[in-house]
Chain A
Amino acid sequence: MLWPDRILLRVRALFQRGRFEGEMDEELRFHLESQIEDHIKRGMNPDEARRAALLHFGGVDKTKEECRDTRWTRFPENLWQDLRHGFRTLHNDRGYTLAALLTLTLGIGANIAIFSIVNGVLLRPLPYDKPDELFVFVALDEGRKDLDLDATSPPFYRAWRERNTVFQEIGLFTTEPMDLTGEGEPERLNACYATSATFGVLRVKASYGRIFDAQEDTPGAARVVILSDGFWKRRFGGDKNVLGKTIRLSDRLYTVLGIMPLGFRFPNEDTDLWAPYNVELAEVFNATTARFAGNNLVARLKPGVSRKQAEDNINGIVSQLRIEYPKTTDKPDKRLMPLHEHIVGKVRPALLILLGAVGFVLLVVCSNVANLALILGAMGIYGVTSYWVAQRTHEIGVRMALGAQSKDVLRMVLRQSVVMTAVGLALGIGGALALTRFLTGMIYGLTANDPAAFASVSALLAIVAVAASFIPARRATEVDPMVALRYE
């Protein structure tokens, strides 16, 4: 019979224990009753016939047990016993248990956390239309020798918008806290001033009301504000009547113009609201010097334009601008960085701390990150189980000398790793929850703690862990009792 068939048969036997037992009882009863009948035919009285039949048959319960042994139907009864034994040995050997659990918890926890982060950030595209076209402007920071988000000035922004040939649109935004006063508790809010073009670049729409249009970019336009879904629900209980109402922000009255959909969190995870950025108004302060003003740019490339072409184009404009504004502090060498990379880049230090440089490089290089996590998990449990087997060679020898079969030893080692993996998983998931919470605080737009990721990684890890412990378990079955006993 083929392997899968046999496994299927055994699995079916597990679920059909009632049927298996019933059939077995019926078969053995048939045997005994036929035998009794035959004995009676040969002249025995019924009592005698029954006794003779049972005697000739041998132990009925023993036979049943041996029949069951040919299948895996014994698995459930043994499982509880195995688990109890597993816990007992772990309890007796606390030093080892502690070390092993620590390793496993760290390994599993980090794996799950990294997987859900990676799943949530690195692998998931940005929640915008054609996210590959989105770039932020960066410039080389002389002091830190590092590419940093470029801070530009409104005149430059205007010049780029008017003179560039490579972008569909460029948005200007800056962040600043605002104080909400008036009804209810005063609150400090994370506000973002953004030009209407910013929303155009990202191609987002309001879920209620509307986003800014060009009219709102002009000075003297009515003060309006757009709320984030989170802030709207938190502060106004998701009441749509707030649209068109005024709220007091930093002592000015703003009319609520729209509410953004859940998941729109630009430029930061915790941005509460957006107010129009009046470029011309800002220019009044910056026109003469075009000094740094803490403004960032996000742009959408035209289809078919490469990053290099776009950088050449803007740097050409920068050269003109530096002549037009000799006193500018704007940095000369502009680069473009994909918006995704910019966002993911913020995670880097945290991940570096967690993984070490090598781990992170591997992680980035390894397109199939799940494999990496699994290999780590497998290596962990393999090492731990190998150590355990080595420590217990003597005990295994004694057990074999006392009549334990290979399969008993195999089960003993495997149950050890099962218990260990189970406890490790429980602790690891707890650790992973904490870790992802810590990391999500640092990463914009991350929805980690994805239950599907947690469940699938846990299941996969459990399977791999047990599979990995199979190798040392097999080694344990090859222990020669004589050698093991003499070893002591």
Chain B
Amino acid sequence: MTKADADLLQGTLDVLILKTLALEPMHGYGVSLRIQQISKDVLRVQQGSLYPALYRLEQQGMITYEWGTSENGRKAKFYRLTKAGLKKLETETASWERLSAAVTRILQTA
């Protein structure tokens, strides 16, 4: 994997995590299931790669966590979006839409 790919992937993964958590607070396993579901294996994110991203986002103050009980009755770490995270998701979504619109336009005209 080249560095550019990795950067792209990392950025994409961050946005996916933020989007997932925007719906409801969730533990890491839940996020991984959701992303798998949404991306339908296109991104092929190893589940383990999710955690460094979660830790990084927490470090950046985009998300925060508290310990709670999961649906299967275990102690689990639930992540939740912060205000900064929500804002970041909005800007990232907007710029993504701009970019994809531009790319679509180019692909259609050229």
Interface residues of A (CB under 8 A from B): 1, 5-6, 9, 23-24, 26-28, 30-31, 33-35, 37, 56-60, 62-63, 66-67, 69-71
Contacts and interface: CB of A to CB of B under 8 A. Distances in A.
A24 B52 CA distance: 11
B25 interface: no
Nearest to A31: B29
B61 A28 contact: no
A71 B48 contact: no
Contacts of B72: 34, 37
Contacts of A30: 27-29, 70, 74-77
B37 interface: no
B49 interface: yes
A56 B72 CA distance: 20
B109 interface: no
A322 to B, nearest CB: 84
Interface string B68-86: 0010101111000000100
Contacts, number: 68
Given A69-B52, A71-B55, A27 B61 contact: no
B74 A33 contact: yes
23 contacts: A1-B84, A6-B59, A27-B27, A27-B76, A30-B28, A30-B76, A31-B32, A34-B29, A34-B72, A34-B74, A57-B46, A58-B46, A58-B49, A60-B48, A62-B48, A66-B49, A66-B52, A67-B51, A67-B55, A69-B52, A70-B55, A70-B59, A71-B59
B28 A27 contact: yes
A481 to B, nearest CB: 14
B60 interface: yes
A249 B74 CA distance: 91
A40 B55 CA distance: 29
A71 B74 CA distance: 27
Interface in B22-62: 27-29, 32, 46-49, 51-52, 55-56, 59-61
Nearest to B46: A58
Interface in B80-106: 84
Contacts of B48: 57-60, 62-63
Interface in B7-33: 27-29, 32
B49 A70 contact: no
A84 B77 CA distance: 38
B46 A31 contact: no
A15 to B, nearest CB: 16
Contacts of B28: 27, 30-31
Contact of B60 (A1, A24, A69): A1
Contacts of A31: 27-29, 32, 47, 51
Nearest to B49: A58
Most buried by B among A27, A59, A60, A66: A27
Nearest to A5: B61
A9 B64 CA distance: 12
A64 to B, nearest CB: 8
Nearest to B30: A34
A27 B77 contact: yes
A57 B47 contact: yes
A56 to B, nearest CB: 6
A56 B32 CA distance: 11
The 10 closest A-B pairs by CB, nearest first: A1-B61, A58-B48, A58-B46, A66-B52, A63-B48, A70-B55, A31-B29, A34-B29, A67-B55, A27-B77
A186 B95 CA distance: 94
A26 to B, nearest CB: 7
A181 B1 CA distance: 92
A37 B70 CA distance: 13
Nearest to A13: B59
Contacts of A35: 29, 47
A56 B77 contact: no
Nearest to A20: B55
Contacts of B32: 31
Contacts of B51: 24, 27-28, 31, 63, 66-67
Contacts of A70: 52, 55-56, 59
B47 A56 contact: yes
Contacts of A56: 46-47
Contacts of B55: 67, 70-71
A37 B56 CA distance: 28
A9 B74 CA distance: 27
Nearest to A71: B59
A31 B74 CA distance: 10
A66 B48 CA distance: 10
A60 B50 CA distance: 12
Contacts of A67: 51-52, 55
A258 to B, nearest CB: 69
Contacts of B76: 27, 30
Contacts of A24: 51
Given A30-B76, A57-B46, 16 more contacts: A6-B61, A27-B27, A27-B76, A30-B28, A30-B70, A30-B74, A34-B72, A56-B47, A58-B48, A59-B48, A66-B52, A67-B52, A67-B55, A70-B55, A71-B55, A71-B59
A70 B75 CA distance: 24
Q: Which of A6, A34, A67, A71 has the most CB of B within 10 A?
A: A34
B52 A63 contact: yes
Contacts of B52: 63, 66-67, 69-70
